[in-house]
Amino acid sequence: MLSVVVVAAVLGAGVAFAADEPVLIVEDIETGETYLTAPVDNGSTVGLEYTHSVEKTRVYDEYRIDGATLVNTRMEFESYGWGLPARVNVTTVNGTFVYAPEEPITELDSLSVSPGRIAGHTLIIDGTRHDLVNTTDARDVRVHIEHRPLIDRIL
């Protein structure tokens, strides 16, 4: 009986060392300092919400985790302005323009963000909100996915 328990423990430890999990990383572009690390899954939703600098209206970009890629799947905005899609088909939901094409908009290895105090950039990971301005002291960051060994999270 003891040998079965030992074998199960060894196999379990081996799986923990071998298995990896996707982790969303927010790091300083210049220094590489990590500001935020959050476990995610394939299919997890990552959103970036902010106030448009000229229009002073809400903008929301949504991404889906696909392996190590951020796939832009949706955009919501309340007015047309610089940098917002003007030549695409949008729907209107409660006064908000929604661009949600059947095919992904963009696939990115990383997303560069310059959190602004006026824009109030917020990162939303599977519904959990993170104030990027306060977390990063408004420093430029890179958001990306890494695959790390599961044992790192356990320890």
The residues that bridge with 108 in the sheet, in sequence order, are: 70
Burial (Cβ within 10 Å: 0-12, 13-18, ≥19) of residue 123:
buried
| Residues 64 and 45 sit within 8 Å (Cβ to Cβ) | yes
Instruction: Tell me the residue ranges of DSSP E strands in 40-109.
Output: 45-51, 58-66, 69-77, 91-93, 96-99, 106-108
The structural domains of the chain, with segments of one domain joined by +, span 21-154
Any idea what the Cα angle at residue 106 is, between residues 35 and 61, rounded to 5°? 55
pLDDT digits 0-9 by tens, 33-65: 999 999 999 999 999 999 998 889 999 999 999
| Residues 25 and 143 sit within 8 Å (Cβ to Cβ) | yes
pLDDT digits 0-9 by tens, 85-134: 778 888 899 999 999 888 877 888 999 999 999 999 999 999 999 999 99
Which of 26, 39, 105 lies closest to 72, judged by CA? Answer: 105
Count Cα atoms within 13 angstroms, Cβ side, for 22: 19
* Per-residue confidence band for 14, with pLDDT thresholds at 50, 70 and 90: very low
d(CA 22, CA 57): 33
> Has residue 2 got a pLDDT over 90?
no
- Record the pTM: 0.81
pLDDT at 104: 74
The residues that bridge with 146 in the sheet, in sequence order, are: 23
